[in-house]
Amino acid sequence: MYNEVDLSKIDIDKNPPDTEPKKQYYYMALCRNWVETMEQQLGRKLTACIQTFGCQMNARDSEKLLGILKTIGFEQSEDPHSDFVMFNTCTVRENANLKVYGRLGYLHGLKRKNPHMFIALCGCMMQEEHVVEKIKQSYPFVDLVFGTHNIYKLAQLIYERLQGNKMLIDIWEDTTDIVEELPTQRKFSFKSGVNIMFGCNNFCSYCIVPYVRGRERSRQPEDILAEIQKLADDGVVEIMLLGQNVNSYGKTLDNPVSFAQLLREIEKIQGIQRIRFMTSHPKDLSDELIQVMQQSKKICRQLHLPLQSGSTRLLKEMNRRYTKESYLALVDKIKTAMPDIGLSTDIIVGFPGETEEDFLDTMDVVRKVGYDSAYTFIYSKRSGTPAAQIENTLDKDTVRIRFEILLKEIQQISNKKIAQKVGTVQTVLAEERNQQNSSLISGRLSNNIVVHFKGDESCIGKEIKVRLTEAKGFYYMGEIYTA
């Protein structure tokens, strides 16, 4: 959407400009020259494949990285047999890390056969010193390693790597910069994530995110609004506002603005039909926000409200700054204001020292709230976090059994909740052709639940009235409703 800069007009024989984002467009022009030379040598287009791990923040970052790669001249590919392969990594749990090492081994084989292949690693994992050390030692065939704070520099980094002959590493500890106005390549034409803030200041004791994403920084409201306006002009009807704790948006700006105030302004943007956001920290969810949601015609009836644990004792150990009781009271308030709200959550099982009683508290909250869906995780020790210092005497089998009991309970509750709406007519935003059954279109309700229905591609990106005919666990089957 920002692909408005004409690279052919940039004089690459001059010195690079001093200011961003101009400097990056200069490097994009230089890289495009290189891509064109390679194309002539190989007699074909060059392809680039980005594999993204982790959360929506990373997914959005990958859209920005792909925007730069496409501007440089690469064609997008899903195939790791590409000329440029990048892993945008996550380190929130250990298994996210292990996956990356596994795939790097595979890439090594590919690079042996195709030596001009360019391999880049970025994202949260790269912000950890021990990871970069391991890559230097064990994966020397990697070309470029950068972190979460300097993704906007991709073109410059590629160019600098091509000038040298060894792995280029550029990791920043933190940043106060927010570089705007670079190209992005959206995955969907009609919906988009929009970063409203970066980083996190909460330091939940188990969590590595504040260490790899840096301190909380909010974007200026006028920049956010301008971006959403541009997206709307480009056909986007649904936006997902992204931040690790959207409820504390704007508090650190020179002219503080609340998240609720920001939402009020976004609501006014013509063309935007649906507004979602994540993630909401329960400790910062204000009455003002509940009121704005209640009055809004565009904010979806969906709230992701991570619980982590239902035990007040463990919540304190986790540094979550709410209690079982205050969480339940908050949920009550939200449900009173919006009885049709779809609630979802994140829960960690097996935090060090979790007792049977703590676990039963979690089960109790799960039953009382009645989530539409819940993401459950087994605690994973992350080095450098305070919880990593706590001796963990829980045995794996106990944790696994608790995890399964919890999962079953969540499934039963959500199945029951979902079944209640069968027979009703609802508005679905049609998103894509179903991958398993091509006669079906898949879309989402306002509360984020997926619906599959018979339809053709002309529906995609539009709001369609659908009668829900059957509940299948966590999704519905439906048919287009014609009154």
- The site for ligand SAH (CB under 6 A) is made up of 92-93, 206-207, 209, 244-245, 279, 281, 306, 308, 346, 348, 377, 379-380, 382
Residue 244 DSSP symbol? T
Angle, vertex CA 312, rays to CA 311 and CA 316, nearest 5: 115
Calculate helix-pair angle for 154-163, 56-72, nearest 10 degrees: 60
b or e along 150-176 (b: 16 or more beta carbons within 10 Å of the residue's beta carbon)?
A: bbbbbbbbbbebeeeeebbbbbeeebe
**Do the Cβ atoms of 247 and 279 come closer than 8 Å?**
no
- Per CB under 6 A, which of residues 112..131 are in contact with ligand F3S? 124
Is 65 a residue that touches ligand F3S (CB under 6 A)? no
Q: CB of 269 within 8 A of CB of 225?
A: yes
What is the rounded CA–CA span in Å between residue 420 and residue 423?
Answer: 9
Nearer to ligand F3S, 57 or 429 (CB): 57
CB of 35 to ligand SF4, least distance (A): 37
Task: Give the angle subtended at the CA of 400 by the CAs of 396 and 406, to the nearest 5°.
Answer: 145
Q: To the nearest whole angstrom, how small is the minimum distance from the Cβ of residue 376 to ligand F3S?
A: 15
49 binds, among ligand F3S, ligand SAH, ligand SF4, none (CB under 5 to 8 A by kind): none
Instruction: Tell the smallest beta-carbon distance from residue 213 to ligand SAH (Å).
Output: 10
**Nearest CB to ligand SF4, comparing residues 193 and 461:** 193
- Classified as helix, coil or strand, 87 is strand
Give the residue from 472, 373, 477, 370 showing the smallest Cα distance to 428. Answer: 477
Q: Is there binding between residue 90 and ligand F3S (CB under 6 A)?
A: yes
210 binds, among ligand F3S, ligand SAH, ligand SF4, none (CB under 5 to 8 A by kind): ligand SF4
273 versus 280: smaller Cβ distance to ligand SAH: 280
Pairing of strands 168-170, 144-146: parallel
Instruction: Name the percent of the chain in helix, strand, coil, to the closest 5.
Output: 40, 20, 40
Instruction: Tell me, by CB under 6 A, how many residues bind ligand F3S.
Output: 11
204 counts as binding ligand SF4 under rule CB under 6 A: yes
Tell me: does residue 17 bind ligand SF4 (CB under 6 A): no
Residue among 91 and 426 whose Cβ is closer to ligand SAH: 91
In this complex, which beta carbon is closest to ligand SAH, that of residue 68 or of residue 212? Answer: 212
Q: How far is the CB of 33 from ligand F3S (least distance, A)?
A: 33
Residue 77 or 319 having the CB closest to ligand SF4: 319
Judged by CB under 6 A, which stretch of 54-62, 299-307, 357-365, 419-427 contacts ligand F3S? 54-62
209 close to 222: Cβ distance less than 8 angstroms? no
Minimum CB separation of residue 365 from ligand SAH in Å reads 14
Count of C-beta atoms within a 10 Å radius of residue 17: 14
* CA-closest candidate to residue 340, choices 421, 415, 273: 421
Q: From the CB of 474, what's the least distance to ligand F3S, in Å?
A: 21
Interacting residue with ligand F3S among 55, 171, 337, 394 (CB under 6 A): 55
Q: Does 212 bind ligand SF4 (CB under 6 A)?
A: no
Alpha-carbon distance of 61 to 63, in angstroms, equals 5
Q: How far is the CB of 99 from ligand SAH (least distance, A)?
A: 15
Compute the distance between CA of residue 425 and CA of residue 262 in angstroms, rounded to an integer.
Answer: 31
- What is residue 268's DSSP assignment? T
Tell me which H or E stretch contains 348.
strand 342-349
**Strand 425-433 to strand 440-444: parallel, antiparallel, or no bridges (unpaired)?**
antiparallel
Q: Rounded distance, CA 443 to CA 430, Å? A: 4
Provide the pairing of β-strand 47-52 with 75-76. parallel
Q: Does 210 bind ligand SF4 (CB under 6 A)?
A: yes
Give min distance, CB of 308 to ligand SAH, in A: 6
Is 209 a binding residue for ligand SF4 by CB under 6 A? The answer is yes
Considering only 117, 200, 307, 410, the residue that binds ligand SF4 (CB under 6 A) is 200
Which 3 state secondary structure label does DSSP give 15? coil
First to last CA, the chain: 38
Residue 92 engages ligand F3S in binding (rule: CB under 6 A): yes
Of residues 213, 217, 298, 382, which one binds ligand F3S by CB under 6 A?
213
Residue span 271-310 as binding mask against ligand SF4, x where in contact by CB under 6 A, dash where not: ----------x-----------------------------
The contact set with ligand F3S (CB under 6 A) reads 54-55, 57-58, 90-92, 124, 209, 212-213
The contact set with ligand SF4 (CB under 6 A) reads 200, 202-204, 207, 209-210, 244-245, 281
